[in-house]
Amino acid sequence: MNDTIEKIKKLNLGKVEEKVSLKKYTTYCVGGIARAIVYPKNTTALVRLLKILRGDNIPFKILGNGSNLLFSDKPYEGVLIKLSEFNTMKYIGKKKVRVGAGYSLIKLSLQTAKKGLTGLEFASGIPGSVGGAVFMNAGAYKSDMGYVVQSVKVLTPELKVITLVNKEMDFHYRSSFLQSHPGFICLEAVIQLEIGKKDAIEEIIRERRARRMESQPLEYPSAGSVFRNPTDNFAGKLIEDVGLKGFQKGGAMVSDKHANFIINYKNATSSDIKYLIDMCHDKVLDEYGIDMKIEQEFVNWE
């Protein structure tokens, strides 16, 4: 592993951080120590990096803003790849924007709102990167990325750059082509919006922020909604109905403000959070026969 890291540094593929706490890189603010995080400076550097890691049999993972991941407390003996340098944004004509995978989704939503473009209001409170949002088909308020993404530039497992149009991305509720084909990496997306009234768009964003502040525990580290809402039901209500709202394990808690949030309220460990996720899932399954789908991805728990 040390030889691989030195090789990456010598090739000047991008910034390299070693032995970093994943608490800084996940919205839960938990996780063990990552052996290295690499920030490739462009697509060419990313391709060279992947060739090296594959050739040396080093495990790796693309890391966005860490808003939907739960790393274990143990060390991650591999390389995490952050596409923070893929952060350009450019308007195409009056209603489209081309944006890099590393760009903040919230920032994109606010900037397009200032331009009087409507369609991304739903994303103004989703703390992820554009790439992560495309991967997850992130959404809220009965809308999601599938409604606004026109096309996605991806790197294939064969390390070729291709473009997938909306239909090929196979967007469905919190899922996409990228989830079922994990070897593909989102590099950038073209977002199709519509011209609206700037004041009205910004008012919607303000109202929704106020609503989130009232109903969600935004003052604590979390990863947003833990479970997808089952058909014709709400995960938070189900968790509350089985008596787990406010339940604690170590420094983690099933939020007493919104039961579909698990919060790190006092130096929680990853194991504390996972315990609560599993407990909520299993108790709802036992009492109601509903197998709630977990939105977060568990990493390095093997």
Query: Tens-digit pLDDT profile for the chain (302 aa)?
Result: 889 999 999 999 999 999 999 999 999 999 999 999 999 999 999 999 999 999 999 999 999 888 889 999 999 999 999 999 999 999 999 999 999 999 999 999 999 999 999 999 999 999 889 999 999 999 989 899 999 999 999 999 999 999 999 999 999 988 999 999 989 999 999 999 999 999 999 999 999 999 888 999 999 999 999 999 999 999 999 999 999 999 999 999 999 999 999 999 999 999 999 999 999 999 999 999 999 999 999 999 98
Measuring CA to CA, which residue among 79, 92, 112 is closest to residue 3?
Answer: 79
Report d(CA 13, CA 53) in Å as an integer.
Answer: 13
Domain map (residue ranges) of the chain: 2-82, 89-201, 217-299
Burial state string for 210-242 with b = 16 or more CB within 10 A and e = fewer than 16: eeeeeebbbebbbbbbbbebeeeeebbebbbeb
Catalytic residue among 67, 121, 174, 222: 174
Could you confirm whether 98 is annotated as catalytic?
no
- Hey, what CATH class is 2-82 in? alpha beta
Could you confirm whether 212 is annotated as catalytic?
no
Measuring CA to CA, which residue among 88, 113, 91 is closest to residue 102?
Answer: 88
Just give the CATH number of 217-299.
3.90.78.10
The owner of tokens 């690499």 is 38
Report d(CA 132, CA 100) in Å as an integer.
Answer: 11
pLDDT digits (tens, 9 = 90+) for 257-282: 999 999 999 999 999 999 999 999 99
Q: What is the pTM of this model?
A: 0.92
Could you confirm whether 129 is annotated as catalytic?
no
> 3-class DSSP state for residue 149?
strand
Q: List helix spans (H) across the chain.
A: 2-10, 43-55, 105-114, 130-136, 166-169, 177-180, 198-215, 235-241, 270-288
First to last CA, the chain: 20
Report d(CA 292, CA 290) in Å as an integer.
Answer: 6
Tokens of 58: 């080093």
* Domain 89-201, CATH number (from 3.40.50.80, 3.90.230.10, 3.30.465.10, 3.30.70.360): 3.30.465.10
> 3-class DSSP state for residue 190?
strand
Q: Are strands 248-249 and 252-254 parallel, antiparallel or unpaired?
A: antiparallel
The owner of tokens 């088909």 is 137
Averaged confidence pLDDT in the chain: 96
Q: How many CA atoms lie within 13 A of 270 on its CB side?
A: 22
Catalytic residue among 85, 202, 240, 295: 295
